[in-house]
Amino acid sequence: MSRSVFSSHSHRYRRGQRGGIPPWLWLVFAAVLVVADRLTKLAVTANMQLNEDFPVLGPFLHFYYLRNSGAAFSMFQNLSYGRWILVGFTVALVCVCVWVLLAGKMRTRLGNLALTLIVAGGVGNLIDRVRHGEVVDFLYVKIINFAIFNVADSFVVVGAVLLCLSFLLQEEWGRR
């Protein structure tokens, strides 16, 4: 019988499981990541002009300063209320992730790390969206002509991949 990646709070933390990381510490880490995201965006806006392209690693990686009022690949950009759809969705997602972290429901460190990255990325972009109605994007993988994104976007994507991996690994371990 396979066990879920979620466990009760009492199982993980009241028994003093060795090596367990307290839930609040994950949120402190998320806050540090939000600060890192904010600093990168401030550095770009202070040192680059809108639509400026600056090669960082030759043809591979460029800083290309854009502002995006939509979501990934500019979805919702042309909707007058798109900003608020994205704000509402982000607030809901961050609240669920924070609840799971604080309740100690995730059984694995990988799953907790994934949720932490999703929270940090969500909050990083939420700050921009609420304050300015758009986010600062600047990371451009030019060699594959990939979308221009930011550090917070990276946190969300990596967090989502790690969360899926956590669920897959837990399912695999449960079969053994």
Does the pLDDT at position 86 exceed 90?
Answer: no
Residues in a beta bridge with 6: 106
* Rounded-to-integer distance, Cα 126 and Cα 121, Å: 8
The predicted pLDDT at position 10 comes to 43
Does the pLDDT at position 83 exceed 60?
Answer: yes
Q: Is residue 128 flagged as an active site residue?
A: no
The predicted pLDDT at position 173 comes to 62
The predicted pLDDT at position 18 comes to 38
Does the pLDDT at position 104 exceed 80?
Answer: yes
DSSP 71: S
Q: Is residue 137 flagged as an active site residue?
A: yes
Choosing from 37, 53, 128, 153, which is the catalytic residue?
A: 153
